[in-house]
Amino acid sequence: MSMPPLASGPEGPRALRPLLETVLDALDKGTQARGGPLPAGGPQAVAARVRHTTGDVLPQEGDPDALRTLVHTLAEGAADPADPLCAAHLHCPPLAVATAADLAASALNPSLDSWDQAPAASALETLVTQALARETGAADALVTTGGTESNQLALLLARETLGSVQLLCGANAHHSLTRAAWLLGLPQPHILPTPTGTLDPATLDEALTDLPGPLLVAATAGTTDAGLIDPLPTIADLCATHGARLHIDAAYGGGLLFSDRHRNRLTGLDRAHTVTLDLHKLGWQPIAAGLLTLHDPGDLHTLQHRADYLNADDDTEAGLPDLLGRSLRTTRRPDILKIAVTLKTLGRTGLGTLIDHVCARAHEFADLIQAHPAFELYEPPTISTVLFRPAEASDDTVAAVRRTLLNDGRAVLGRAHLDGRLWLKATLLNPHTRPGDLAALLNLVEGSTPR
Ligand SMILES: Cc1ncc(COP(=O)(O)O)c(C=O)c1O
């Protein structure tokens, strides 16, 4: 066998071009073969098809059709967030331009742990993280793999600044926060009940008064289950009064910053010590595209680390940027490229339009539900999450309807327990969704609900 070609270097583009044709063709045919938002038949049928088409994963002699076969297999068996009926999670359809940029990132393969592996990528990361930090009123931002890593880093920075800090958050907060407290050996978090879906200031005030501290309050701008936003300015006031540190998890809601119409819902974000952003949710990026913004760049000292092969003192003194202290990871993908390309291609206006669009669609869907006698709406959406359930159905029925749609490959809806009941969840992140798609989704759910 001749040497397989490389993706970068002078021959890279020439080698990639026909392979890209193969990939695009296989994506096209695989998507057509699926013919819906996800493959039909449930986990066993999908696993059997994948086993059958993949065959021997490590054959003695290589298979030149592997790229076509496996991309087709993955596309045929994908839960495709670009299908309007795939709306369960904070799982967005990536923009074509962002995905194209990600191809360049893979081809060039810079690694952001030292300047000599990423000269331009590290400079671009500085520019973009500073711009996004300014957007939230912060001083700096780190690139992460998503909301979970951002929340972990926020707790780590709090611990290194304040000592053994106790996490104080609502039951509506993302599970990665309490997991991070466990991982970091912090005291048992204090979880406040959130019967209305958001943190209640009076309950928080009481806890801030009673608990000895040091405390890290974590508020949420865009809850996972319902897309609700905690009362950020009041929470920031309470933290200031009680001397508590404030983290805001805006993994979902952070995207509202790009919209002139909706950004005022994030008032108070600039008062947090740290903010989680995640552009692979309301930002149309391929995974991964997380950020953690920091109010005090001094917090970063705790991540400083010396590894002679990456950031020797004399190299740093001679002017080579020291990148190792910007992450707990070592080798690190240039996820910033696709983000930069997206921000610059669409601009504020383009991104704001996408945000406004999905929020408007959520309201239209909520109106459809409210007008339909067979359905109950949880409440009008805050961002783009709509919770609803067949009226009079038991929780078991609601859960079964969701699984039936999944098994048949007809729709991907999420589930959430709120108000003591189980709800179906539609998280609308697809700006191409049309009102007719939403009506079709509701018809499907109605048709799958036993009477
Ligand atoms: C509010 C919130 N924070 C954090 C996360 C975790 O993000 P990731 O899955 O990118 O780690 C999620 C995921 O849905 C989320 O909804």
Q: Are both 330 and 352 inside the same structural domain? A: no
CATH code for position 274: 3.40.640.10
Whether 84 is in a domain gets the answer no
Q: Residue range 78-83: average pLDDT? A: 98
Q: Residue range 172-189: average pLDDT? A: 98
Q: Are both 161 and 215 inside the same structural domain? A: yes
Q: Residue range 306-318: average pLDDT? A: 97
Q: Are both 268 and 382 inside the same structural domain? A: no
Q: What tokens were used for 325?
A: 């202290």
Give the Å distance between the CA of 309 and the centre of ligand 1. 34
Q: Are both 178 and 286 inside the same structural domain? A: yes
Whether 8 is in a domain gets the answer no
Residue with tokens 């780590």: 156
Q: How far is CA 449 from CA 36, 340, 366, 405, 422, in A?
A: 20, 44, 19, 10, 14
Give the Å distance between the CA of 146 and the centre of ligand 1. 7
Q: Are both 437 and 338 inside the same structural domain? A: no
Nearest atom within ligand 1 for CA of residue 148: 11
Whether 5 is in a domain gets the answer no
Give the Å distance between the CA of 250 and the centre of ligand 1. 9
Q: How confident is the model at residue 62 (pLDDT cuts 50, 70, 90)?
A: very high
Q: Residue 53 burial by CB count (10 A; 0-12/13-18/19+): exposed, middle or buried?
A: middle
Looking at residue 451, its pLDDT comes to 77
Q: Residue range 143-159: average pLDDT? A: 98
Whether 9 is in a domain gets the answer no
Nearest CA to ligand 1 atom 7: 147
Q: Are both 357 and 442 inside the same structural domain? A: yes
Whether 34 is in a domain gets the answer yes
Full domain range(s) for residue 275? 99-345
Q: Residue range 172-176: average pLDDT? A: 98
Q: Are both 418 and 366 inside the same structural domain? A: yes
Total domains in the chain come to 3
Looking at residue 1, its pLDDT comes to 62
Whether 143 is in a domain gets the answer yes
Best residue among 145, 151, 174 to mutate for probing ligand 1, ranked by most atoms within 8 Å of CB: 174
Whether 105 is in a domain gets the answer yes
Nearest atom within ligand 1 for CA of residue 250: 1
* 348-366 tens-digit pLDDT: 999 999 999 999 999 999 9
Q: Are both 186 and 304 inside the same structural domain? A: yes
CA pair distance 289, 102, nearest whole angstrom = 11
Nearest CA to ligand 1 atom 8: 147
Whether 88 is in a domain gets the answer no
Q: Are both 222 and 107 inside the same structural domain? A: yes
Nearest to 426 by CA among 440, 413, 417, 409: 413
CB count in 10 Å sphere of residue 149: 23
Nearest CA to ligand 1 atom 16: 224
Residue with tokens 């997380």: 290
With 70 as the cut, is the pLDDT of residue 239 above it? Answer: yes
* 403-443 tens-digit pLDDT: 999 999 999 999 999 999 999 999 999 999 999 999 999 99
Q: Are both 320 and 434 inside the same structural domain? A: no
Residue 365: partners with Cβ closer than 8 Å, 6 or more residues away:
381, 386, 426, 428, 438, 441, 442
Q: How confident is the model at residue 3 (pLDDT cuts 50, 70, 90)?
A: very high
Ligand 1, pocket residues at CB < 6 Å? 90, 146-148, 151, 174, 176, 220, 222, 224, 249, 251-252, 278, 290
Looking at every residue in the chain, the average pLDDT score rounds to: 97
Q: Are both 292 and 372 inside the same structural domain? A: no
CATH code for position 381: 3.90.1150.10
* Domain termination site, one of 345, 378, 398: 345
Residue with tokens 């806890």: 207
Classify each residue of 158-175 as buried b or exposed e, where b means 16 or more C-beta atoms within 10 Å of its C-beta.
bbebbeebbbbbbebbbe
Q: Are both 119 and 208 inside the same structural domain? A: yes
* 17-49 tens-digit pLDDT: 999 999 999 999 999 999 999 999 999 999 999
With 90 as the cut, is the pLDDT of residue 312 above it? Answer: yes
* Domain termination site, one of 345, 380, 401: 345
* Domain termination site, one of 345, 366, 393: 345
Q: How far is CA 197 from CA 193, 214, 219, 374, 427, in A?
A: 9, 26, 12, 24, 16
Nearest CA to ligand 1 atom 12: 147
Give the Å distance between the CA of 253 and the centre of ligand 1. 11
Q: How many residues does the chain have?
A: 451
